[in-house]
Chains A and B, each alone.
Chain A
Amino acid sequence: TQLLKQSPQFLSIQEGENLTVYCNSSSVFSSLQWYRQEPGEGPVLLVTVVTGGEVKKLKRLTFQFGDARKDSSLHITAAQPGDTGLYLCAGAEGYSTLTFGKGTMLLVSP
Chain B
Amino acid sequence: DSGVTQTPKHLITATGQRVTLRCSPRSGDLSVYWYQQSLDQGLQFLIQYYNGEERAKGNILERFSAQQFPDLHSELNLSSLELGDSALYFCASSVGLAGLYPDTQYFGPGTRLTVL
Contacts and interface: CB of A to CB of B under 8 A. Distances in A.
Interface of A: 30-31, 33, 40-45, 48, 50, 88, 90, 92, 94-103
Chain A interface secondary structure, helix, strand, loop or mixed?
loop
B89 to A, nearest CB: 10
A45 B104 contact: yes
Interface of B: 2, 4, 33, 41-45, 48, 56, 58, 90, 92, 98-102, 104-110
B102 A42 contact: no
Chain B interface secondary structure, helix, strand, loop or mixed?
loop
A31 B105 contact: no
B100 A100 contact: no
Given A42-B4, A48-B104, A90-B43, 9 more contacts: A40-B109, A42-B108, A42-B109, A45-B104, A48-B101, A96-B56, A97-B45, A100-B44, A102-B41
Contacts of A45: 104-106
